[in-house]
Every structure is written in structure tokens, then in C-alpha cells.
Structure 1
Amino acid sequence: MRVGKASDTDVEQVGTMREGKLDQKHLLFGEDDSPNNYDLNMGLTGGGGWRTPRHRHNFDQIRYVIQGELPYTETEVLKEGWVGYFPESVHYGPQERAEGLRTMVLQCGGASGQGYLSVARREAVNAELNKVGEFKKGLYHYTDANGVAQTKDGSEAIFEHATGGALRFAAPRYTDVIAMDPDAYDWHKSQDTGVEEKWLGRFTERDLRIGFLRLDAGAVYQAGQFNSIEILFQTKGRVTAGGTEYGPETGYEFLANEGPVQVEAVEPTEFLRMVLHTF
């Protein structure tokens, strides 16, 4: 088990690849060069908002709206408390995020197995590219070897510079972002006494799962019993795990078949639960 607490995590401002101000706290990271590499983070949109053009990625994203509304097209939003699945290769945006928007985001390798380029590697490349070009309104502007002015999506420019190869997208498995209202789902008892769960969805042939857990005071959840990495994000309540007490805005990583690892509720507690693709 690994744990990351928002209260112990420094704020980092996202680089110049996009337009506006976005502060992040990175709670947990996966393993570089693994198909299940990931980044669990919390974001706060700063003064002046945050904007992106319509674009897509070669990795998956799961977004949970803590406060505010998250736009994912010009007309559609994830409401507060909603969860969105942004599959690899699927276009979304443009985004115009308002100041004060708070979200939890899990970025992870998609079902194609291309993995996820870590934040550290992206930011290092961002700095390099700024020496020879400019990021503006989500696009990278530069002059090629023939002296011709060029533009490309900022994320694509960073990936290609980092890997030395062209960014190629897997065939999209879905046609759009999948927006989910957790309040429209029912809770069901799990095999652990005092523990209830609701699954919002299971996606792709590699069985990415998204759902919620609810524990009564004194209940024990036996974590880490899936065939892939299990990620929990605590939304309310208090628990003890590994002899330490934790509160809201804490992330937990359990490796494949690491459990059972006991997570005991000190008071009524809820988690967003995500199980990464099985490779």
C-alpha cells in the first residue's frame, strides 16, 4: 500500500503548454514505462481560468468534480459530484474552466498499452521546447528545419520530443466522453460487513472499473484484491490503514493482488474507487 495526502503535498503550477492558471497536487504516481503508469492529482483552476483547444490523448483520464462544473465541450459539463471517463484517442474540448473549479484527476495508460508519459518527463520537455518555440493557446508554435513556421497540439509536441517518435493514436473504442451521475446509481452490499459499493462502469476488454465505496463506522474494507492496481480517493470520513489515520483528499494505491489490506472506518467514510486496466 502507498498513500498520498493532499495536506502533505506541495502545490505545483501546470506549465505553459495550455493557457491560464492551473494548480495541482500530485498525490500518487505509477511506474514509468509501465502500461499502467498513472498520476493521481487534484487540480484547482486559478484566476483568469484555464483553457484548452479541442484535443485528445493516447492515455485515459478519469475526472471527479469536487467543486464547480467541469466543461468538456463548448456546451457540456460534468456537474459537481459527477465522474467522467475520457478514453484514449477520443477528442474532447474546447474547455473554458472557471476560476475555483476543483477536481480529482487520474491519468493512466489506456487499453492499447501505450502507457502514460509521466509529469516529470513532460515538464522537462516543456522547458526544453520553450527554448526553441512557444506554447500559445494550447498549441506549440515553432520553425522547422526548413525555416517554415509550424503549429501542433501542445501535448502532441511534448510526447514526440520526449519519445523521439510520432504520436500515434489507437482506434477509439468510444465516440465521446462518458459522463456519469453517481446519484443515479444504487448502493449494494459487498462481501465485507458494513461496506457498500456502487460500480459506475466497467470499460474496454481490459476491464477498467470506476465506482464508489461506502463504509459504516467500524467497518473494514479488504483492499487490494483485484488483478490490477486499485486506486482509492477518499471523499469523506476517516479511516485507519497500516496503523495510521487518514481523512478526506487522501489517495491510496494497492498493487495487483497485494491484499487483503485492511482499511477500517473510524467514522462513516466514502471513496471513489478505480481499478486500472488488466494487462
Structure 2
Amino acid sequence: MRVSKAADTGSERVGTMREGVLDQKHLLFGEDGSPNNYDLNMGHTGDGGWRTPRHRHNFDQIRYVIEGRLPYTETDVLEEGWVGYFPESVHYGPQERPAGLRTMVLQCGGASGQGYLSVAKREEVNAELNKTGEFKKGLYHYTDANGVPQSEDGSQAIFERAMGRKLEFAAPRYTDVIAMDPQAYDWQQADAGVSEKWLGRFTERDLRLGFLRLEPGAVYQAGQFPSIEILFQINGEVTAGGEKYGPETGYEFLANEGPAPVEAVAPTEFFRAVLHTF
């Protein structure tokens, strides 16, 4: 088990790849080079908002809206409390995120097994590319060897420089972002004082997304899935590994690591994800 509290985590400003101000607190990272590498973070949009062009990634993204409304196209919005699954290879945007928006974001390798480029490597390459070109409105502008001006998506430019190869996308498994309203789902009792609300299971690799609720004194035995289980504590108080934890805490349980007891001191809810099984 690994645990990380937002209160103990410094805030980092996202680089110049996109336009606007976005600060992130990175709670947990996976293993570089693994198909299940991931980054669990909290994002806060600063003054002036945050903008991206229409684009796609070769990894998955899951977003839970903590506060505000998250537009993910010109007409579609994730409301506060909603969850969005942004599958690899699926286009979304353009985005115009308003100032004050707070989200939990889980970026992870998709079902195709291409993995996820770590934040540290991405920001390192971001700085390198700024020496030979310019990021503007989500695109990277540069002049090629023949003196001809070129532009490409900023995320793509960073990936190709970091990996030394062209970015290739798997065939999209879905046609669009999957937006989910958790209030439309019912809680199901899983154990004494333990309720769960699964929003969905996705792809042949069985990505699972949902919520977990504990009553005071109830114990959830975590880490009993065949892949990495991620919990993000929304409210309440629990004990785990002999320590007490409150809201905006992230937990990682490796495949079949459990049973690892998480006991509620007060009524507590978590967002829960079980990553793709490889």
C-alpha cells in the first residue's frame, strides 16, 4: 500500500504545452515503462482559464469533477460530481476550462498496452522543445530542416521527442468520451457497512470505475483485484496501515496485494478505479 495526502503535496504548474494556467498536485505515480504506469493528480485551473485544441492521447484519462463544471468539447460538460472516461485514441475538445475548476485526474496506460509517459519526462522534453520552437494555443510551432514552418499537437510533439519514434494510435474502442452521472446509480451493499457503486467496466482489459462508501467502524479489505486498485478519498476519515487519513488522500494497492484493511472512523466515500489487467 502507498498513500499520499494532498495537504502534504506541493503544487506544480503545468508547462507551456497548453494555453492558460493549470496547477497540479501529483499524489501517486506508477512504474515507468509499465503498461499500467499512471499519474493520480488533482488539478486547479488558475486565473484566465485553461485551453486546449481538439486532440487525443495514446493513454486513458479519468476525470472526477470536485468543484465546478468541466467542458470537454464546445458543447459538452462534466457537471460537478460527474466522472468522465476519456479513452485512448478518442478525440475530445476544444476545451475552455474556467478559473476555479478543481478535478481529480487519473491518467494511465490504455488497453492497447502502450503505457503512459511520466510527468517528469514530459516536462523535461517540454523544456527542450521550447529551445527549438514555441508552444502556442496547444500546438508546437517550429521550422523544419528545409526552413519550412510546421506545427503539430503539443502532446504529440513531446511524446515523439521523448520516445524517439512517431506517435501511433490504437484503433479507438469507443467513439466518444463517456460521461457518467453517479447520482443516477444506486448503491449496492458489499459487506457490513460497506457499499459500492460501480459506474462501468471498460475494454477487454477490464478497467473498472466507481465509488466506495464506508459507515463508521466498517472495514474495507482493499487490494484484492488482479490489477492496481486506486482510491481517492472524497470525504470522511479512515485508518489504514496504523495511520489516520482524511479527504483528498490517494491510495495505491498493487495487484492481489490485499486484503489490506481500511477502517472508517467517520462516514467516508472514495472514488475507486481498478486499472487495466495485463
Q: What is the TM-score when the length of structure 1 is the normalising length?
A: 0.99
Find the aligned partners of 1:147 and 1:255 in 2 and give their Cα distance. 50
Counterparts of 2:88 and 2:76, CA distance in 1: 19
Partner of 1:148: 148
Q: For residue 263 of structure 2, what is the aligned residue in structure 1?
A: 264
Unmatched 5+ stretches in structure 2: none
Distance in structure 2 (CA, Å) of the matches to 1:96 and 1:185:
28
1:150-171: CA deviations, max 9, x gaps?
A: 0000000000000000000000
Which deviations, in whole Å up to 9, do the C-alpha atoms of 1:42-86 show, x marking residues without a partner? 000000000000000000000000000000100110000000000
Q: What does 1:1-279 correspond to in 2, within 5 Å? A: 1-190=1-190, 192-279=191-278
Separation of aligned partners in 1, 2:128 and 2:4: 29
Taking structure 2 as the reference length, the TM-score comes to 1.00
- CA offset at residue 270 of structure 1? 0.3
CA distance in structure 2 between the partners assigned to 1:4 and 1:167 by the alignment: 32
Distance in 2 (CA, whole Å) between partners of 1:19 and 1:187 is: 39
Give the distance between the partners of 1:216 and 1:99, measured in 2 at CA: 35
State the AA in 1 paired with 2:22: L
| 1:93-135 deviation line (CA, Å, top 9, x unaligned) | 0000000000000000000000000000000000000000000
4+ aligned runs moved over 4 Å, structure 1? none
CA distance in 1, matches of 2:121, 2:192: 43
CA distance in 2, matches of 1:218, 1:231: 21
The one-letter code sitting in structure 2 at the alignment partner of 1:203 is F
The amino acid across from 2:235 in the alignment is: K
Aligned-residue sequence identity (percent) comes to 83
Length, aligned pairs only: 278
Gaps of 5+ in 1: none
- Cα distance in 2 for partners of 1:243, 1:100 equals 35
1:231-278 C-alpha deviation (Å, 9 max, x unpaired): 000001000000000000000000000000000000000000000000
Alignment partners' CA distance in 1, 2:146 and 2:112: 35
SS at match of 1:189: strand
